[in-house]
């Protein structure tokens, strides 16, 4: 693409939009290098979760979400973006380069921009409102347009099976003291700007409890109920299981989440059956996905407005030159 160099775009606005993407444990494992008419996306592997995510799979999916936000914010700024995928090319942290150019006409993706700041991970029970089947079809198409597959678990035995796998996953994860320690390490007061937030005074106690006790039984029971009661359960899967697939899964996830926000729905994760290696093929089989499962999502209409999770300041995630 040949950029019009007369008016340099505001790349900071694109990075700000990227920073609002979801990420596992709210680690925000990304860095952006601004290069005039291009932005490079790098994995910030210091923020990896080696126990929960030993292959950096979720880390790369999170970066894919941030990449989609860059593309959407660019479209809203009248910029066409072309993504050069570099993930998987080497062991480098450089995942993608977004080349920007002035668009000659309004871009359809601009419509999703307002949803970037309105999206939330909704871990609570959803309202008892059914999700419109047309909305679900739009979400399926959104995932497909980014090269991933969203499979809705529509039959009751699929939903019950998925809920049972979530409970089984919880039991395995919580029984692992290293996993609990890692979770506790990312429980932060809001002012830290990252992690799973708790009121500042509650942090030391909550961390100690999570580190010390296997609460798998209780968590499994409540997650199972959440899964059972969710208006929609869906599996996001990809063709392969490498860094390029994970980056695509992230872009697909974020596109369907933003589209969902515009239709009045939000989502949250029940990824335990993907995080426990032995359960992952069982989830794939249960959903009937052609490729490996990447995420298990609950989707519904939120019962109340939720506060935004904190984000790191831009100066921490931006590299110049």
Ligand X SMILES: Cc1cc2nc3c(=O)[nH]c(=O)nc-3n(C[C@H](O)[C@H](O)[C@H](O)COP(=O)(O)O)c2cc1C
Contacting positions for ligand X (CB under 6 A):
22-26, 58, 61-62, 65, 120-121, 123, 196, 268-269, 271, 309
Residue from 267, 264, 275, 243 nearest 62 by CA: 243
Burial 136-173 (b: 16+ CB within 10 A, else e): beebbebbeebebbbbbbeeeebbebbbbbbbbbbbbb
Rounded to an integer, what distance in angstroms lies between the CA atom of residue 22 and that of residue 263? 19
Query: Is the CB of 184 or the CB of 196 nearer to ligand X?
Result: 196
The least CB distance from residue 271 to ligand X, in Å, is: 4
Is 103 within 8 Å of 86 (Cβ atoms)? no
- Phi, psi for 16 (deg, rounded to 5): -60, -45
The least CB distance from residue 8 to ligand X, in Å, is: 29
Edge-to-edge strands, sheet with 38-43: 79-85, 94-102, 38-43, 30-35, 318-320
The least CB distance from residue 249 to ligand X, in Å, is: 8
Query: Is the CB of 224 or the CB of 269 nearer to ligand X?
Result: 269
Query: Is the CB of 35 or the CB of 192 nearer to ligand X?
Result: 192
Query: Which stretches of 47-175 are assigned E, i.e. beta strand?
Result: 79-85, 94-102, 149-152
The least CB distance from residue 274 to ligand X, in Å, is: 9
3-state secondary structure of 93: coil
The least CB distance from residue 77 to ligand X, in Å, is: 22
The least CB distance from residue 90 to ligand X, in Å, is: 23
Query: Is the CB of 107 or the CB of 289 nearer to ligand X?
Result: 289
For residue 40, CA distances in Å to 10, 21, 149, 248 come to: 15, 16, 26, 16
The least CB distance from residue 19 to ligand X, in Å, is: 10
- Nearest to ligand X by Cβ — which residue? 22
Query: Which stretches of 263-320 are assigned E, i.e. beta strand?
Result: 266-269, 293-300, 318-320
Query: Is the CB of 35 or the CB of 121 nearer to ligand X?
Result: 121
Query: Is the CB of 76 or the CB of 187 nearer to ligand X?
Result: 187
Query: Is the CB of 55 or the CB of 99 nearer to ligand X?
Result: 55
Burial 93-131 (b: 16+ CB within 10 A, else e): bbbbbbbbbbeeeebebbebbebbeebbebeeebeeeeb
């Amino acid at each position: 693409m040949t950029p019009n160099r007369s008016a340099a775009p505001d790349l900071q606005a694109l990075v700000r939009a990227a920073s609002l993407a979801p990420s596992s444990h709210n680690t925000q494992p990304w860095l952006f290098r601004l290069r005039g008419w291009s932005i490079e996306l790098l994995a910030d592997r210091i923020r990896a979760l080696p126990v929960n995510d030993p292959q950096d799979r979720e880390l790369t999916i999170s970066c894919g979400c941030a990449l989609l936000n860059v593309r959407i914010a660019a479209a809203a700024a009248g910029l066409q973006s072309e993504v050069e995928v570099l993930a998987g090319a080497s062991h480098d942290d450089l995942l993608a380069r977004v080349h920007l150019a002035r668009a000659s006409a309004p871009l359809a993706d601009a419509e999703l921009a307002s949803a970037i700041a309105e999206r939330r991970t909704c871990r609570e029970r959803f309202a008892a409102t059914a999700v419109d089947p047309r909305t679900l079809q739009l979400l399926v198409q959104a995932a497909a347009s980014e090269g991933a597959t969203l499979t809705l678990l529509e039959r009751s035995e699929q939903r019950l099976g998925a809920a049972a796998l979530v409970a089984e996953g919880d039991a395995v994860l919580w029984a692992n003291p290293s996993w609990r320690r890692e979770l506790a390490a990312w429980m932060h007061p809001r002012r830290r700007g990252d992690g799973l937030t708790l009121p500042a005074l509650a942090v030391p106690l909550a961390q100690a409890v999570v580190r010390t006790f296997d609460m798998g039984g209780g968590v499994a029971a409540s997650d199972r109920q959440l899964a059972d009661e969710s208006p929609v359960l869906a599996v996001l899967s990809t063709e392969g299981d490498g860094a390029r697939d994970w980056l695509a899964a992230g872009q697909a996830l974020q596109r369907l989440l933003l589209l969902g926000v515009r239709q009045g729905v939000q989502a949250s994760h029940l990824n335990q059956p993907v995080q426990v290696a032995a359960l992952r093929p069982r989830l794939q089989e249960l959903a009937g996905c052609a490729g490996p499962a990447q995420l298990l999502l609950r989707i519904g209409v939120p019962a109340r407005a939720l506060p935004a999770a904190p984000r790191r300041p831009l100066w921490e995630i931006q590299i110049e030159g």
